[in-house]
Structure 1
Amino acid sequence: MSVRLTVAQAIVRFLEVQYVERDGVETPFFAGCWGIFGHGNVAGVGQALLERESAENAGSAEHVLRYHQARNEQAMVHAAVGYARHRDRLSAFVCTASVGPGSTNMVTGAALATVNRIPVLLLPGDVFATRAANPVLQEIEDPRSYDVSVNDCFKPVSRYWDRVNRPEQLPSALLAAVRVLTDPAETGAVTLALPQDVQAQAWDWEDDLFARRVWHVSRQVVADDALARAAAVVRSARRPLLVAGGGVIYSDAGDALRAFVEATGIPVAETQAGKGSLRFDHPLEVGAVGATGTTAADALAAEADVVIGVGTRYSDFTTGSRTVFADPGVRFVNLNVTGFDAYKLSGEALVGDARRGLEQLGDALTGWRAPAEHSERAGRLAREWDDVVQASYDLQHEPLPAQSEVLGVVNRLTRDQDVVVCAAGSMPGDLHKLWRTRDRKGYHVEYGFSCMGYEIAGGLGVKLAVLDAGEDREVVVMVGDGSYLMMSQEIVTAVQEGVKLIVVLVQNHGFASIGALSESLGSQRFGTSYRYRTPTGLDGDHLPVDLAANAASLGARVISVADIAELEKAFADAQAAEVTTVIHVETDPLVPAPDSPAWWDVPVSEVADLASTREARTTYDVQKARQRSHLRPIPTPGDPP
């Protein structure tokens, strides 16, 4: 049997019947479709979505690919990422855009999804496969080949890329796309470029293409021989440290992690993506590690003789550009669902699911514990850092509050289960060090790509995921004025969808984090403040930008506050409200949060006329000498661990 549909109609029908299963729980994989229409997709994917929505309204469809309207193509990919991340990558959104600028606007979002290993399906419109009307409006003409379009830009930022030039190619492309999206080791952005004439072309499809299909996400077990080698390394440790990454969160391995560390006494440090793996007040939780780390975690990392990385890709922030793990004989045991990450830093590789792997490693270590004095010292260091956190919350800086005080108010007034969302600027580093996370889904900071503008769009995606899952969580977006000016228009979408967000908009008249970085590198905060131009440069008065008025113009309810007392009242008011509320607060950008002892490698000019730059280069050379390769030879059988 067959059914006659256009290519676009067939895509939508296929996506509606894809399901995912993990641990016996089965759910639809595709939650909906974000889209902005133009000539490259309005008559194809747009028409197909309209038909399905009409069928839903008529009661003749059980599950449809619900359409959501966005204001910016990059932002809608960010919203899709926020949604999928909150759902542990077990549900995803589709994003469709038109030919040319509409499609290329999604490239940044695709890169963000792939860097963070988050599933999102992109359906960019493409030029005519028949070339009947080329060059079509917005087509880039490559004199080397008529087979090149702007959608080739997606190739390096997609985990799977295909162009459907004929209907017969569609089934294999769709199956390959969903295979990648649902694979924890392979997932990221998937791009299916759709020529606009092919989208509208009819074809007789086999019914089996639209049969309900379940994609099983199995918990891969670690091989016994690898487990034995890793256990021997851990048993040799006197100063072990576990680094929890995002894989702990996505695998829902929090309980397994807690059981593991309580049985072994190994302290736990967290990456940005792994923050929330343990509650902040667990006796063996020592907080953020690396360039934005706590004094507790970084001190333990500097001394660690064995580091157990679970679900981390060891970014330069986590390793302090390979200076944090400083013991000359440090060994790494890496548990990761992908071998690409498990073998990093010459680690003993445990390729498998984080939850299942922790259970296996725990069994292999039965009867062994880290030295009691090591565990006790970790707890003491963590308590000392928490005193530093409290002091930064209670700073009482005047006349403008410090950013750490703003974070303290929000942290104290939110409930355990509420979600904080952030992505770029100085706040991710401050949140990593200072935020007291009490729930595994309470911390959502995108720091793989650290994309300015992610915050509001990503928060919208998180809130949609919260609503779809039937959870009782407020979503609090923390955003600086720099990121807000990059991309704030999805406030309109939140208002349109009736989705409540609390947005804390911190105004400091420029780029606080890059200003501080610039100063540390001898570049004197050049180009990091929003100021009028004068004869000597961009060094005049602050620009009269009214971000509160802007937020109100986008449909949000806005409260401007002048101090911490007013912020407390405004935040409580926003919690009680039923609509999206933006709280505008001005802070002093020159008051830093407590600093991390770690380093981050940002090269300084080797020669310079500026004395400040020459001084910074001297410091850089000293720090550069501390970098480690972490290369170890592969041991031969019988060698001691």
Structure 2
Amino acid sequence: MSENPPAPVGGTGPRDTVRLTVAQALVRFLAAQHSERDGERQRLFPGAFGIFGHGNVAGLGQALLQNAVDPARDDAAEPEAPLPYYQARNEQSMVHTAVAYARTRNRLQTLACAASIGPGSTNMVTGAALATIDRIPVLILPSDVFANRAVDPVLQQLEDERALDVSVNDAFRPVSRFFDRIWRPEQLIPSALAAMRVLTDPAETGAVTLCLPQDVQAEAHDWPVDFFRERTWHVARPVPEPAALERAVEVIRGARRPVLIAGGGTIYSAASSALQAFAESTDIPVLDTQAGKGALRDDHELCIGGVGATGNDAANELAAEADVVIGVGTRYTDFTTASHTAFRNPDVRFVNLNVKSFDAAKHAAEMVVADARTGLEALTGALDGWRAPAAHRERAVRLRAAWDERVAPCFAPHDQELPAQTEIFGALNEMMGDEDIVINAAGSMPGDLQALWKARSPRQYHLEYGYSCMGYELPASLGAKMAAPDAEVVAIIGDGTFQMAPQEIATIVAERVKVILVILQNHGWASIGALSESHGSQRFGTKYRLRSEESGLLDGEKLPFDIPANIRSYGLEVQEVSSAADFRAAYRRAEASTEATAIVVNTNLYGPHPPGEGWWDVPVSQVSRLESTQQASAQYEAARAPQRHYL
């Protein structure tokens, strides 16, 4: 409620304007936004994260406080629905939390993230990049310099002698799908509406950044009441253009060894039933990406599993001989294409079904620009009566069965003191429910998980592998649990990732959110260590060791870092185990608890890992005095021979 409201306009009814600060107006606007798809309507913003500093404590901070304790409106009979506030500990992490929330809600809801000027705001740039790369909506509200320039330079201001309207927040421009700076109060109206359009557009979504100069946040303005009316943003399901559908069907009908690659768009559009119907109608084997795993249940006969650099050999063998590749909701990252070596048939053709034309056009494909669900339904109808050759289906089923048999030892105990992480994954996969959620992002674990995990629902497998951002997993568990309170949410975190960003444990404790954190401790970077060794660099700089007085290198004793003690300092219960059997017992105890729990598992740094044959292009030094590098360089040149553009 404004302290000095203007006189009513037009009798005794609601006023045409209401006097609020820019920050108060923004909070009220966000609280009134909704999204809708397939008749299901929900608040677009169920809450906002904020970390306050001099740039926003008296602006957005005051607005969120007022909204929480005094949501009454002087221009309406009913109080507004408050916008819940959540306190975070790290700005990058709160963006990760919002991304995980939005992903779990299939991009129909998200959270706002507000930070102070300078380092508080630029801490969110990594989160913005992740959101935009992964096509996930999140609203970022960085504070900014004084618009009136009465204080110039303000504390933490970047001074650019070429232009006085540049600030560090301009770093958000290339990693945002929409960017604006609100220099004057009235600019908020068109900017906020444009921001909502992007956040709810399935093709254009990603990070949306509205920079808020700190003086403008606190500036009062007479706002049109209509700006705050409830709005519903309808999330579209574009249908295929008939001629494009006809061209795609013609290509598919000519296929003898077709495969379908299910990407994240298949899950976000809730197209799992349509995908299953398409596969069963056409007998086309389904491969999946990191983001698309679970779109077709793993136990379905036509689900062959992960394709590409970290995929399984069954999927990669089918990809190598495919004459038609149908990409659904995938953007074909280098891991999916094994750095352009996965699809080796010289005559391979692509049909891409994607809501975004930029992705649909990749690999010189026949483009079907449409929602994944409506597109699959249209393809199924247009292909009625046509099936891939029976021998192709039978071969796919045999290859998958052979792969499952080949990797079974990954889940069994090995003759070594500590378990391989694959043993832990097998136990976890077996114990988690179909609708529970496992979260991971970086290191050696995504490769093992894509090859081995048997996803039994579209939401069970939550891997952030578009940006593969260390530090994502822990805050993401908070966001996923907020979005799916009925699920058991498990974040698998390497000890390297844990050391980068443990701060949101405090938020988990403060919010009384029940998640299970599984920290795998192997005293090093397993993924980069293995990559270093295979590429001739001898695991240099990849183990956590004290510097040796003898060698001068970091190859001394293990660092005495005590992860369990660190976690306990946050007030969280910790169990430490060193075997798969003990992990099973610890997980069951954590599952039964009503509070968040951490399980620290001591694992073997060296694996073993799945025996996949996928390739990833990591260039090796062409000249070196090290024999290990010379050998790796020769192997690299041989491995990249099949690499090509798909034209």
Give yes or no for contact 2:201–2:236 (8 Å, CA) kept in 1.
Answer: no
- Is 1:339 the counterpart of 2:357 in the alignment? yes
CA separation in 2, counterparts of 1:298 and 1:106? 37
Q: Which secondary structure state, in structure 2, belongs to the residue aligned with residue 516 of structure 1?
A: helix
CA separation in 2, counterparts of 1:522 and 1:562? 31
Aligned to 1:90: 108
- Is 1:13 the counterpart of 2:31 in the alignment? no
Aligned to 1:531: 545
Displacement of 1:391 after TM fit? Answer: 2.0
Aligned to 2:403: 385
Aligned to 1:517: 531
CA separation in 1, counterparts of 2:490 and 2:248? 40
CA separation in 1, counterparts of 2:278 and 2:618? 36
CA separation in 2, counterparts of 1:150 and 1:35? 19
Q: 2:494 aligns with which of 476, 480, 484?
A: 480
CA separation in 2, counterparts of 1:62 and 1:552? 40
Aligned to 1:600: 616
Q: 1:213 aligns with which of 231, 241, 252?
A: 231
Displacement of 1:489 after TM fit? Answer: 1.1
Give yes or no for contact 2:410–2:608 (8 Å, CA) kept in 1.
Answer: no
Aligned residues: 627
CA separation in 2, counterparts of 1:596 and 1:398? 22
CA separation in 1, counterparts of 2:80 and 2:590? 36
Q: 2:292 aligns with which of 274, 282, 288?
A: 274
CA separation in 1, counterparts of 2:31 and 2:580? 48
Q: Residues 158-187 of structure 1: CA distance to partner in whole angstroms, max 9, x if unpaired? A: 000000000121101001111001000000
Give yes or no for contact 1:393–1:405 (8 Å, CA) kept in 2.
Answer: yes
Q: Which secondary structure state, in structure 2, belongs to the residue aligned with residue 92 of structure 1?
A: coil
Q: Which secondary structure state, in structure 1, belongs to the residue aligned with residue 490 of structure 2?
A: strand
1:286-435 paired onto structure 2 within 5 Å: 286-435=304-453
Q: Residues 539-558 of structure 1: CA distance to partner in whole angstroms, max 9, x if unpaired? A: 11111111011111112110
The one-letter code of the counterpart of 1:51 is Q
Name the CA shift for 1:57/1:529 in 2 (closer, same or farther; >3 Å). Answer: farther
Q: Which secondary structure state, in structure 1, belongs to the residue aligned with residue 68 of structure 2?
A: helix
Q: 1:54 aligns with which of 65, 69, 78?
A: 69
Q: Residues 172-221 of structure 1: CA distance to partner in whole angstroms, max 9, x if unpaired? A: 10011110010000000000000000000000011110111111112100
Give ranges in structure 2 of 5+ residues lacking alignment.
1-15
Give yes or no for contact 1:52–1:61 (8 Å, CA) kept in 2.
Answer: no
1:501-580 paired onto structure 2 within 5 Å: 501-534=515-548, 535-536=550-551, 537-580=553-596
Displacement of 1:388 after TM fit? Answer: 2.9
Displacement of 1:611 after TM fit? Answer: 0.8
Displacement of 1:396 after TM fit? Answer: 3.3
Q: Which secondary structure state, in structure 2, belongs to the residue aligned with residue 318 of structure 1?
A: coil
Q: 1:491 aligns with which of 502, 505, 513?
A: 505
The one-letter code of the counterpart of 1:484 is F
* TM-score, length of structure 2 as denominator length: 0.96
CA separation in 1, counterparts of 2:452 and 2:502? 25
The one-letter code of the counterpart of 1:129 is A
Aligned to 1:637: none
CA separation in 1, counterparts of 2:558 and 2:78? 58
Q: Residues 232-271 of structure 1: CA distance to partner in whole angstroms, max 9, x if unpaired? A: 0000000000000000000000000000000000000000
* TM-score, length of structure 1 as denominator length: 0.97
1:68-79 paired onto structure 2 within 5 Å: 68-79=86-97
Q: Which secondary structure state, in structure 2, belongs to the residue aligned with residue 317 of structure 1?
A: coil
Q: 2:280 aligns with which of 233, 249, 262?
A: 262
Q: Which secondary structure state, in structure 1, belongs to the residue aligned with residue 132 of structure 2?
A: helix
Q: 1:23 aligns with which of 12, 35, 38?
A: 38
Q: Which secondary structure state, in structure 2, belongs to the residue aligned with residue 578 of structure 1?
A: coil
Give yes or no for contact 2:272–2:295 (8 Å, CA) kept in 1.
Answer: yes
The one-letter code of the counterpart of 2:493 is V
Displacement of 1:61 after TM fit? Answer: 3.3
Q: 2:144 aligns with which of 116, 120, 126?
A: 126
1:175-190 paired onto structure 2 within 5 Å: 175-190=193-208
Q: Which secondary structure state, in structure 2, belongs to the residue aligned with residue 539 of structure 1?
A: coil
Displacement of 1:56 after TM fit? Answer: 5.0
CA separation in 2, counterparts of 1:202 and 1:512? 54
Q: Which secondary structure state, in structure 1, belongs to the residue aligned with residue 261 of structure 2?
A: strand
Give yes or no for contact 2:537–2:629 (8 Å, CA) kept in 1.
Answer: yes
Give yes or no for contact 1:115–1:449 (8 Å, CA) kept in 2.
Answer: yes
- Is 1:443 the counterpart of 2:461 in the alignment? yes
Displacement of 1:21 after TM fit? Answer: 0.8
Q: 2:121 aligns with which of 98, 103, 109?
A: 103
Q: 1:229 aligns with which of 228, 247, 264?
A: 247
CA separation in 2, counterparts of 1:277 and 1:407? 20
Q: Residues 521-563 of structure 1: CA distance to partner in whole angstroms, max 9, x if unpaired? A: 1000010000010142111111111101111111211001121
CA separation in 1, counterparts of 2:28 and 2:415? 58
CA separation in 2, counterparts of 1:95 and 1:456? 17
Q: Residues 71-104 of structure 1: CA distance to partner in whole angstroms, max 9, x if unpaired? A: 0000000000000000000001000000000000
Aligned to 1:456: 474
Q: Which secondary structure state, in structure 2, belongs to the residue aligned with residue 227 of structure 1?
A: helix
Aligned to 1:590: 606
Aligned to 2:211: 193
Aligned to 1:638: none
Q: Residues 253-312 of structure 1: CA distance to partner in whole angstroms, max 9, x if unpaired? A: 000000000000000000000000111110000000000000110000000000000000
Q: Which secondary structure state, in structure 1, belongs to the residue aligned with residue 212 of structure 2?
A: strand
CA separation in 2, counterparts of 1:333 and 1:6? 51
Q: Which secondary structure state, in structure 2, belongs to the residue aligned with residue 43 of structure 1?
A: coil
Give yes or no for contact 2:443–2:494 (8 Å, CA) kept in 1.
Answer: yes
Displacement of 1:381 after TM fit? Answer: 1.1
Aligned to 2:131: 113
Q: Which secondary structure state, in structure 2, belongs to the residue aligned with residue 42 of structure 1?
A: coil
The one-letter code of the counterpart of 1:222 is P
Q: Which secondary structure state, in structure 2, belongs to the residue aligned with residue 430 of structure 1?
A: helix
Q: Which secondary structure state, in structure 2, belongs to the residue aligned with residue 20 of structure 1?
A: strand
CA separation in 2, counterparts of 1:56 and 1:198? 22
Displacement of 1:397 after TM fit? Answer: 3.9
CA separation in 2, counterparts of 1:161 and 1:517? 37
| Identical aligned residues as a percent | 59
Aligned to 1:614: 630
The one-letter code of the counterpart of 2:538 is Q
Displacement of 1:62 after TM fit? Answer: 4.6
Give yes or no for contact 1:396–1:405 (8 Å, CA) kept in 2.
Answer: no
Q: Which secondary structure state, in structure 2, belongs to the residue aligned with residue 30 of structure 1?
A: coil
CA separation in 2, counterparts of 1:140 and 1:627? 44
